[in-house]
Amino acid sequence: MTSYNNGGVFNPAYHDSETLEVDKRSSRKPHHSNPYANEDLALWGERADLRNDAEHGSHRGGWQEESRRVEESIPMGFITTNSTSASWQHNVYQSSLQIDGDSHYDPSPAARPISSMSGNMTMRWRGIAMRRMSMFPNSDPAFTEEEAEDEEQNLVKELVALSTREQVRQIRGLPMSFERKKHIRRQVMAFKSSKHSQHFTGFTDCSKNISLSFRRCGYGIKSARQTLELWHGIMKEIGGKFGSSVLTYFMFLKWLLMFNIFSFLVNFGFITIPLLVHDLSPNIPSNVSFRGLELLTGAGYFNYTVMYYGGYSNETLRGLVDYNMQLAYFFTIAIYMVLCGIVLIFSMANSFKKNYALADSASNSAWQLLCSWDFSITNDKTVRQRKSNLRVQLKESLSEKSLKKRLTLSEKLQQYGIHLGCWVLSTSLAVGCGASIFYLCQYEQEAMDSGPWSLLNEAETLLVPFVVSLMNMVIPLFFSLLNKFELYSNQRRQIYALLLRNVLLRMVILGVLCYYWMNVVPGRFLCWEPMVGQALYRLVIIDFLFLMLGSFFGEFLSNVIGTQLLPRFGVPEFDVARNVLDLIYAQTLAWIGIYFSPLLPAIQILKFFILFYLKKVSLTQNCQPPRRSSRAAQMQTIFIFLLFFPFFVGALSMVAYTAWSLTPSEQCGPFHGLNNTFSVVEIWIAGLEGSSDWVVWIYENIIRSELFYFLLTLIIIVIIYVFWQLIQGRKELIGLLRQQIINEGKDKSFLLDKLQYLQKSYSEIPAGPIKQKGPSSRRSDGHSSGSQSNSNAMVQVLLARQQLEEEEQRRSLGGVSVPSDISASSAMTQALLARQRAERQNEDFYQMPEEHPSSLNALDQAMAARQRALDDERDEYWSTTDFNERNSSASAVTQAMQARLRAEEDRGDDPADLPSPTSSVMIQVMQARQRAEEEERMQWAPDPLQNPAPSGSSALIQAMLARQQAQNEYDDGY
């Protein structure tokens, strides 16, 4: 348990509310949600936990404990003016920690870490919330309205101190009901406004209002965006039927669509519209007309429109303002590419942070059981299928380890051989594809050069894109076939291998095409850019057709085969990886083409839009939900990374190479007559000289200076190095902290074992005499005191104990393991400590026999405590829907202890019966000490001469020492 008592009950100053508040503020960590932030306090927290258990006699742990603790200890400190209750509380803590105040062991306040008093805010909020959202409101009689109010006040105070943005975030994160959140927020606002009205004037009010209205406006836009969200219903349907991993594909598709819409708007707005406004009619030669084939080939009629680079002029458009077409073209494309890069880098980094840096593949079973269930699934059939899939996977993961060990060396070598063969085969396939495409391009060129431009000739241009798309479709299928022959130890590696091969294939194909366009095409045509644009247009269109065919063959046909012809194949699954790669490839084409054909994004939008519906229909008609619940978030990260790294970077470098190094065609386009595209900027700067010198200065000294880039690179490298070191340090820290958590756990279990042991001996020994002597002897004690109630109490104790023992037997038969034992033992511990407390009060009574009120008071309190325990228990009975025996056993212990406590209190009241409780205290304390010393000698004889208090405290010291020793051992351990 890592929730620590932050109440700081040891420190008397704690009871001062001011201190509490200050401490909390000062120690609040920036990332307070980290429950392990104050690790080194565990030692005290541990103790406090146990003590608290003792206090409450409750068998609940963790959060409720925390909340109770907080709620009990805080208000007691500064609300109640009743000194009795305060002193009682003080007593409790004292007695639980030290048997006697003036014993030689005195935990001085100075030795304790101050920060142990700090309240971890989140913890506390959850504490309240636990109560609030507790399924059984008012189950705890100790919880009163006042305390809740108070807790709430503290929360409000903490919230007020935060910035508005932070406030909203924090309130949203509160695990409370809607009503409560609203209430808290109202209070925060009221508090704030009252504070502001005292201190500030109209100006700040005004700025407040403005910021508020801005925020509201922001929310409005956000919500509008959400209500207008594209394909919301379809997404829900797909998610409900196929789970979130398939949904990843559709989200990715939508994201790319948004990219293209943005790109289209930019290009259309800054390049095409000004041209169209200036000169609406395209200058098309009279002999060229629209024939329909252009839709496929992009040649002919389209060649003279604004579709391609060639359709734009290099003029400065003279209208209301001068519009330099060259600059507009250059900067639009450049800024668009840079923006794309930035968006990609940010989403990639974000995705990496969320999905990779934190992800941990080690906890597979836990993940499968507790995190993998997709709550968004709403389809009955899918739910059933998922359940059986999960079952299969769990079984697999159970048998996985035994399977791994059986591999011999020869088998391993065989496997490596297969892997190597597959890699060689797939790589050579990819290279072969690239080579064949290059020769095909050359052949096509020669064929075109030979004859006059005809319709057939135009149709022939479709050959290259057709072959390319065919390769893109067929070869991945071959790769997946290969993949089936390879035996990968884990599924993820298999997916990655397949992905890598497909990426390689596409990179080779695109690389060859780009090489051809960059090196061969410019030499052959007078107006070469539109030719490249046309080639890209054809690729985009044919790729689209093949995507449609692919979903027909890939999904529909295999569905038919799986259901009608070969049932052992089964209904196909939707291959997310292959489909996403297709999308990435399509998007890369659009990026490369942006320079040669600025309106290509329009085609892309249309393509993606149709593709979405097509894939949706194909998915729902032909596919079944994925059999394996793969980690979709990580796959998504990889897709974004792939989109960025080989593909976007490749496209960017290709465009950049074109703009910097290639000579634009001399006959057409916005840049004709220039050495290279970039010289547009040089000319522009030269024109600016004289009018705005700072721009020129920037250009000369920053853009064109190698020194600047050299320094920039140097600085970036230094920064990267520093961050790298920081990361290493953090990694080390994380390792240490994790080790510490584990140590704390060991520590706790060690202590619990000790306590359990102690408790066993404690319950055995007094039980011994009772059983041996029988109830009569004890009752005779009661008789001597002449108190009827006393013997009643005794009977109760015995009954309760019997009950407990039965429970315990039953439990041992049932084989209930550690957890229930721990909670039972903690209940026992609580009872034990409560008892010690009572006995301490008894001692007080002996020391001052004339002070009857105090004893009565102690009795009252014991009674009250018992009452509370009973109430608790009753509530438990009443409320627990899933009642288990643990509760009853623990409550039995509590009951027994409380009853016994009362019995002893009663007897304590009777002066004639003085020695009996004393000796019983003695026995117990002796036992405790003996256990602490781990001596197995069974000396149960009471020693009336020895003073109980020192022995008790020495037992405590022993325990402390043992613990310290254990701690040291663990520390040495790592």
Partner 1 sequence: MGNKQTIFTAQQLFYRYRDLAPQLVPLDYTNHPDVKLPYELIGSMPELKDNPFRQRIAEVFSEDGQGNMTLDDFLDMFSVLSEMAPRDLKAYYAFKIYDFNNDDFLCKSDLEKTLNKLTRNELTEEEVRMVCEKVIDEADLDNDGRLSLEDFQHMIVRAPDFLSTFHIRI
Q: If we measure between CA atoms, which residue out of 779, 745, 516, 821 comes closest to residue 45?
A: 745
Closer of 490 and 749 to partner 1 (Cβ): 749
- Supply the minimum distance, in Å, between the C-beta of residue 118 and partner 1: 17
Beta bridge partners of 317: 323
Closer of 519 and 880 to partner 1 (Cβ): 880
Closer of 172 and 405 to partner 1 (Cβ): 172
Site for partner 1 in 106-135 (CB under 8 A): 122, 126, 130, 133, 135
DSSP for 123-149, please give it.
Answer: HHHHHHHHHHS-SSTT--TT--HHHHH
Q: Is the dihedral of CA 801, 803, 809, 812 positive or negative?
A: negative
**Among 391, 704, 773, 810, interactor with partner 1 by CB under 8 A:** 391
Cα separation, 241 vs 620, in Å, equals 8
**Among 137, 269, 735, 915, interactor with partner 1 by CB under 8 A:** 137
Is residue 390 at the binding interface for partner 1, with CB under 8 A as the rule?
yes
Cα separation, 262 vs 257, in Å, equals 9
Closer of 240 and 650 to partner 1 (Cβ): 240
Among the listed ranges 167-175, 191-199, 677-685, 832-840, the one in contact with partner 1 (CB under 8 A) is: 167-175
Is residue 946 at the binding interface for partner 1, with CB under 8 A as the rule?
no
Cα separation, 559 vs 573, in Å, equals 9
Is residue 365 at the binding interface for partner 1, with CB under 8 A as the rule?
yes
Q: How far, in Å, are 521, 594, 668 from residue 525 at the CA level?
A: 6, 20, 11
Closer of 42 and 475 to partner 1 (Cβ): 42
Site for partner 1 in 897-926 (CB under 8 A): none
- Supply the minimum distance, in Å, between the C-beta of residue 829 and partner 1: 14
Helix axis angle, 145-160 to 17-27, nearest 10°: 40
Site for partner 1 in 550-609 (CB under 8 A): none
- Supply the minimum distance, in Å, between the C-beta of residue 303 and partner 1: 46
Is residue 893 at the binding interface for partner 1, with CB under 8 A as the rule?
no
- Supply the minimum distance, in Å, between the C-beta of residue 128 and partner 1: 13
Is residue 311 at the binding interface for partner 1, with CB under 8 A as the rule?
no
Is residue 742 at the binding interface for partner 1, with CB under 8 A as the rule?
yes
Is residue 2 at the binding interface for partner 1, with CB under 8 A as the rule?
yes
Is residue 823 at the binding interface for partner 1, with CB under 8 A as the rule?
yes
Q: If we measure between CA atoms, which residue out of 289, 307, 260 comes closest to residue 532?
A: 307
**Among 185, 192, 208, 628, interactor with partner 1 by CB under 8 A:** 185
Among the listed ranges 337-345, 420-428, 712-720, 740-748, the one in contact with partner 1 (CB under 8 A) is: 740-748
Which amino acid is it at 20? L
Q: If we measure between CA atoms, which residue out of 904, 919, 896 comes closest to residue 787?
A: 904
- Supply the minimum distance, in Å, between the C-beta of residue 177 and partner 1: 6
**Among 102, 145, 322, 360, interactor with partner 1 by CB under 8 A:** 360
Residue 585: burial class (beta carbons within 10 Å; 0-12, 13-18, 19+): buried
Reduced to 3 states (helix: H, G, I; strand: E, B; else coil), residue 169 is: helix
Is residue 64 at the binding interface for partner 1, with CB under 8 A as the rule?
yes
**Among 86, 148, 160, 168, interactor with partner 1 by CB under 8 A:** 168
Site for partner 1 in 687-706 (CB under 8 A): none
- Supply the minimum distance, in Å, between the C-beta of residue 807 and partner 1: 17
Cα separation, 498 vs 482, in Å, equals 9
Site for partner 1 in 783-822 (CB under 8 A): 817-820, 822
Closer of 2 and 314 to partner 1 (Cβ): 2
Among the listed ranges 221-229, 273-281, 442-450, 797-805, the one in contact with partner 1 (CB under 8 A) is: 221-229
Three-class SS of 574-604: CCHHHHHHHHHHHHHHHHHHCCCCCCHHHHH
Alpha helices in 626-785 (DSSP H): 632-642, 649-661, 679-688, 693-698, 706-785
Is residue 404 at the binding interface for partner 1, with CB under 8 A as the rule?
no
List phi, psi (to 5°) of 318: -100, 110
Among the listed ranges 95-103, 178-186, 728-736, 896-904, the one in contact with partner 1 (CB under 8 A) is: 178-186
Is residue 179 at the binding interface for partner 1, with CB under 8 A as the rule?
yes
Is residue 373 at the binding interface for partner 1, with CB under 8 A as the rule?
yes
Residue 216: burial class (beta carbons within 10 Å; 0-12, 13-18, 19+): exposed
- Count of residues engaged in binding partner 1, rule: CB under 8 A: 101
Is residue 588 within 8 A of residue 653, CB to CB? The reply is no
DSSP for 502-530, please give it.
Answer: HHHHHHHHHHHHHHIIIIIHHHH-SSHHH
- Supply the minimum distance, in Å, between the C-beta of residue 97 and partner 1: 23
- Supply the minimum distance, in Å, between the C-beta of residue 393 and partner 1: 10
Where on the phi/psi map is residue 138: left (φ > 0), alpha (ψ -120 to 50), or beta? Answer: left
Sequence-separated (6 or more) residues with CB below 8 Å from residue 791 = 778, 779, 782, 783
Reduced to 3 states (helix: H, G, I; strand: E, B; else coil), residue 624 is: strand
Q: If we measure between CA atoms, which residue out of 5, 27, 33, 39 comes closest to residue 738?
A: 39
Q: What is the largest CA-CA distance in the chain?
A: 130
Burial track 678-704 (b if 16+ CB lie within 10 A, e otherwise)? ebbbeebbeeeeeeeeeebeebeeeee
Is residue 153 at the binding interface for partner 1, with CB under 8 A as the rule?
no
Is residue 48 at the binding interface for partner 1, with CB under 8 A as the rule?
no
Site for partner 1 in 71-100 (CB under 8 A): none
Is residue 169 at the binding interface for partner 1, with CB under 8 A as the rule?
yes
Is residue 69 at the binding interface for partner 1, with CB under 8 A as the rule?
no
- Supply the minimum distance, in Å, between the C-beta of residue 4 and partner 1: 11
Among the listed ranges 373-381, 713-721, 852-860, 922-930, the one in contact with partner 1 (CB under 8 A) is: 373-381
**Among 160, 261, 327, 359, interactor with partner 1 by CB under 8 A:** 359
Closer of 665 and 823 to partner 1 (Cβ): 823
Closer of 366 and 470 to partner 1 (Cβ): 366
Site for partner 1 in 627-666 (CB under 8 A): 631-634
Which amino acid is it at 608? F
Binding mask 517-556 for partner 1 (x = CB under 8 A): ----------------------------------------
Q: How far, in Å, are 179, 790, 916 from residue 840 at the CA level?
A: 46, 19, 15
Q: If we measure between CA atoms, which residue out of 46, 15, 91 comes closest to residue 23?
A: 15
**Among 749, 780, 802, 964, interactor with partner 1 by CB under 8 A:** 749
**Among 489, 880, 939, 965, interactor with partner 1 by CB under 8 A:** 880
Cα separation, 65 vs 74, in Å, equals 14
Is residue 468 at the binding interface for partner 1, with CB under 8 A as the rule?
no
Is residue 377 at the binding interface for partner 1, with CB under 8 A as the rule?
yes
**Among 115, 347, 379, 854, interactor with partner 1 by CB under 8 A:** 379
Reduced to 3 states (helix: H, G, I; strand: E, B; else coil), residue 113 is: coil
**Among 52, 355, 829, 954, interactor with partner 1 by CB under 8 A:** 355
Closer of 587 and 740 to partner 1 (Cβ): 740
**Among 200, 214, 219, 613, interactor with partner 1 by CB under 8 A:** 219
Binding mask 225-254 for partner 1 (x = CB under 8 A): -xx----x--xx--xx---x----------
Is residue 746 at the binding interface for partner 1, with CB under 8 A as the rule?
yes
Burial track 795-822 (b if 16+ CB lie within 10 A, e otherwise)? bbbbebbebbeebbeebeeeebeeebbb
Reduced to 3 states (helix: H, G, I; strand: E, B; else coil), residue 473 is: helix
